[in-house]
């Protein structure tokens, strides 16, 4: 598996944005949790206090966000080992003709069956 970490050399640090869930707790406090990162949570008496504690936690821990590019492993399709296995078989064309004739016969039987059903419905 190939793994590549994309990084950019930016002289100014870009602002990180987070989606934050604000919840009023039963004890009267307010919690602020970064969505997808449950370890990043702050709580306080007010929403602003909870957010301020969360910001302090993020600044202390200095999380870094990187983009990973992972190439999937190349595997052969399981049916590919059978592709072309009958290319030199002298009876292959005969077998295909048999299959086609059998399919036409089955189709004709089904058409007759549905015709009979339609005729029965019309008589009701």
Which residue's structure tokens are 């004709």? 108
Gap between the Cα atoms of 44 and 32, Å rounded: 9
Gap between the Cα atoms of 18 and 54, Å rounded: 11
What is the reported pTM?
0.45
> Closest Cα to residue 42, out of 18, 64, 20?
20
Question: What are the backbone angles phi and psi of residue 32, rounded to the nearest 5°?
Answer: -125, 120
Per-residue pLDDT of the chain (124 residues; tens, 9 = 90+): 455 555 555 556 667 788 999 999 999 999 999 998 888 899 999 999 999 999 999 889 887 777 888 888 888 888 888 888 888 899 998 999 999 999 999 999 999 999 999 988 888 7
The per-residue DSSP string of 104-123 comes to HHHHHHHHHHHHHHHHHHHH
Cβ neighbours of residue 12 closer than 8 Å, sequence gap 6 or more: none
């Amino acid at each position: 598996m190939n793994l590549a970490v994309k990084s950019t050399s930016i002289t100014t640090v870009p602002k990180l944005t987070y989606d934050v869930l604000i919840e009023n707790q039963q004890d009267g406090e307010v919690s602020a949790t970064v969505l997808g990162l449950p370890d990043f949570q702050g709580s306080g008496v007010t929403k602003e206090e909870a957010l301020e504690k969360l910001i302090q936690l993020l600044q202390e821990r200095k999380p870094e966000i990187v983009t990973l590019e992972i190439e999937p492993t190349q595997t052969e399709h399981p049916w590919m080992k059978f592709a072309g296995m009958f290319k030199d078989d002298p009876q292959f064309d005969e077998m295909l003709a048999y299959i086609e004739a059998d399919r036409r016969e089955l189709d004709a039987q089904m058409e007759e069956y549905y015709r009979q059903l339609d005729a029965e419905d019309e008589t009701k």
